[in-house]
Structure 1
Amino acid sequence: MTAIAFEHVRKEYPDGTVAVADLSLEVREHELLALVGPSGCGKSTTLRMANRLVEPTSGRILLGGEDVTDADPVELRRRIGYVIQNVGLFPHRTVEQNVATVPRLLGWDRTRTRTRVGELLELMGLEPGRYAKRYPHELSGGERQRVGVARGLATDPPVLLMDEPFGAVDPVGRRRLQAEFRRIHAEIGTTVMLVTHDVDEAVQLADRIAVFSRGGHLEQLDDPVRVLTAPASAAVADLVGRDAASKLLGLGTLQSSDLRQGSLGEDLPTAEATVRVGAPLSEAFSALADARAAAVPVLDGDRTVGVLDADGVLRALRRIVDERASEESAAV
């Protein structure tokens, strides 16, 4: 089912600048849709039109079948979660008070509010007894971002809008937040529209990716594998770049069929570097690169079941593409 739909939406500013031109786009229930493209392509404008922080010039935007332009904008924004890059936490309110902002505006009682805040902090990996009474300045950048996500989810909104939510976090913290958010989204299933300039982030997190070009033109709407392996236009190919294969590493896990069986051989002087069946391919590739050897042992439980070498990584990448092609054929 469709959670939010853009029907021939256009945004043109008084000076004649077209930010979004005739955009038609459907976001499915429970999916995470990433919006990517170069600066000035209209992806953030599209996001902000969904909760009327920016008003469309023409067209319709439907949330659960209701035209958002017919809704009271303040009430609408209380129904749609919104998370931005710099979080925007209230500095003189505690973590608990920040997360409780919208529930209190909606008139929730204290018990219900406190329970929901505790649930969300636990979900975000922020132990309530440790973090609830802290203030934003007492948190790391990653912790503040988690609080921002918790606040956006406080009233279990049907749609969560996220505009470069992890952009202000250092690279290591960003990777951790991406992994944590992937887990959270799988658990709660909220429909998410995520704006990011980072194609790798979109590939890691999204069920589908919408690629925009300047003027708010939708160049391609597809799953990450198709965007990487079959770009629909030169603009998409330029955005993806020449390292599409390396981006595919973030989309699959290591399987027994990817391995070379038998003895570890002389190309494995030590077994210090190992990887496990089911590990993300990106992790498996890193283990192989760090081992400074031609192959690394692969474990299933405590048992060595084979070795991973460069050919195995290539087999895994081809498997991901072939599996996607088989799924598409079955769907026809």
Structure 2
Amino acid sequence: MTKTVKIAILGASGYTGAELVRLLDTHPNTELAILTADRRAGQTLGAVFPHLAQVKAPPLVSIDDVTAEDWAGVDVVFCALPHATTQAVIARLPEHLRIVDLSADFRLFDTDVYAEWYGGPHKAPELQKTAIYGLTELDRERVANARLVANPGCYPTGPQLALIPLIESGLIEPDDIIIDAKSGVSGAGRGAKEGLLHGEVSEGLHAYAVASHRHAPEIEQGLSRAARRPLLVNFTPHLVPMNRGILCTIYVRTVGEADAGTLLSKLTVRFQGEPFVKVLPKGTLPQTRHVRGSNLCLIGAADDRLPGRVILVTAIDNLVKGAAGQAIQNMNVMLGLPETAGLALQPIFP
């Protein structure tokens, strides 16, 4: 019988922390051992998230109050802290722990690129060299052997799953990619921000961080690795007045006689048997409501009216496949557990 895996969640009072708890509560092999949330230390999980009041969980504590003895009883750490704080925290953790980091701190291989986009030097460059970028379906073997997995960002997940196999197979022009991305407001976190008030975001739609979003270099890193040369992409995110979901509409130029059917055939073969990546029939395009609450990534495609161009569309739940769900998927691979454990949830509709 598989032993019970003891889990610590650092930053358990945010949306991602709550999703980790919700999903892990259905996992047959895990037990919550430590939940940290400095501003909420001393409170119960149910006081912070009433919808999780029935979950068996320890009280929230400050990370500074976690002792060496406490860490000795933990197997896996999910780090859901803000960027620029995670590096120093993970560097202090005991060596026996397996770690999945949901912040941006270990996603970029080049620490100079990190410093450029995140406003300061990387605080654990030696640890960065050991981190594995955890887009599970595309790097499962390395994830399995990793101590530290950098969980992908929410925006980069869908586009990389759709584009990397097509770039590797030479079916699209890698220098002519446009990604139009739209996300629900939970992607901005749970902290109080004026720009996320109901009166600021409801009944409207707007682009933000135009030509300057921090997920652009993460996407470019993955696509450049596939092309084996540096690439730049046109990536523009938009904020949509909904709680969950990311829809990416991706415009590509094909090579030779390739069309939407060709691209879908390649993706279908590449993701055959994958439990969470589903390629839809030609002309059927995914919607965020089709993935809500699930760990699915749906990919569709249609021929553009412009000759030689195809429109790809991807949909994920930003809090699940874009964060907590993919993190648990990575943990399952790291520990040799069934990859779908804790994640076999169908989408919620309506």
TM-score, normalised to structure 2, is: 0.26
Which of the two has greater helix per residue? 1
Give the TM-score, by structure 1 length. Answer: 0.27
| Higher Rg | 1
